[in-house]
Amino acid sequence: QVQLVESGGGLVQPGGSLRLSCVASGNIFRFNVMGWYRQAPGKQRELVATITTPGNTNYADSVKGRFTISRDNAKNTVDLQMNSLKPQETAVYYCKANFWALDYWGQGTQVTGSS
């Protein structure tokens, strides 16, 4: 059974930074795509960023230039460096891993902009 566990969420000041990490464990596949998604209260889950094994990246327009996704294939981890965070980016951030037709999701980690 594949498990994805996110960490690194928490409170952040306006304009601050956080680094999220996702670690895959269990029955590990060589994932072709890993990524980060987020879901704010009352909103649909949306793509934040994805990265392939060769390192090709894709970002939501709203985070381009501020967020950076990276992965370590040997460790089966994927990180998301988030800079210049905005209050409206408060959400639960989820890690996703894909292996062909199979998708795996983490439990999410809360990112909250402090007042």
pLDDT band at 31 (very low <50, low <70, confident <90, very high): confident
Given a cut of 90, whether residue 68 has pLDDT beyond it is: yes
Given a cut of 90, whether residue 50 has pLDDT beyond it is: yes
> How does pLDDT run across 70-86, given as a tens digit for each residue?
999 888 899 999 999 99
**How is the chain classified by DSSP, letter by letter?**
-EEEEEE--EEE-TT--EEEEEEEEES----SEEEEEEE-TTS--EEEEEEETT--EEE-GGGTTTEEEEEETTTTEEEEEE-S--GGG-EEEEEEEEETTEEEE---EEEEE--
Range 20-42 average pLDDT: 90
What is the pLDDT, as a whole number, of residue 73? Answer: 83
Contact of 68 with 52, CB cutoff 8 Å? no
